[in-house]
Amino acid sequence: MTAPEAESLRARPAPRRRSQWRGQAPVVAVVALGGALGACGRYALTLAWPTPPGTFPWATFWTNVAGCAVIGVFMVLITEVWTAHRLVRPFFGTGVLGGFTTFSTYAVDIRRLVDAGRPALGPAYLAATLCAALGAVWLASAAARLVLVRSHR
């Protein structure tokens, strides 16, 4: 083996992590900012429409359904209608809507319903939220595609 061949087999130093962080820092920042805004919006809704113990958690239900509908429209907008800046999707999709919708409160609400002596309402809420959220994202994206994509062409 020649010296140049041996040199080519030597381990190369790992690329600098600092440059990777610099590239991701704006993404992390906009996700954090968007998440804070979305979570504040969700919290405001739960204060405006509190859920008494043992009752259907309408505020969380409609928050999740509305968030899914908005993500359906948003994804059509940024993938089929216009080219978004690279930070729009992490800010709004992951940040704002990720903070606004809530899987953790949804899970806690199911547990609270069961613990409050409403064992049938917990699974009903689970199924209703899942069906309504999936239906909302599908219907909203289909409607957005029909209206926005057609008018954009």
* Residues of the chain predicted below pLDDT 70: 1-19, 152-153
Residue 115 inside a domain? The answer is yes
Strand, coil or helix: what is 106? helix
Q: For the chain, how many structural domains are there in total?
A: 1
Whether 27 is in a domain gets the answer: no
In a domain, 61, yes or no: yes
* Model pLDDT, residue 56: 97
The pLDDT of residue 55? 95
Residues making up the annotated binding site for Na(+) are: 98, 101
The answer to the question of residue 23 being in a domain is: no
Residue 3 lies in a domain: no
Residue 115's pLDDT is what?
95
In a 3-state reduction of DSSP, which class is residue 92?
helix
- Binding site, residues? 98, 101
Residue 20: the pLDDT is: 72
Residues 123 and 110: their CA atoms lie apart, in Å, by 7
What is the span of the domain harbouring residue 68?
35-152
pLDDT of residue 100: 96
Helices and strands (H, E) in the chain, number of each type? 8, 0
Residue 23: CB atoms within 10 A of its CB come to 9
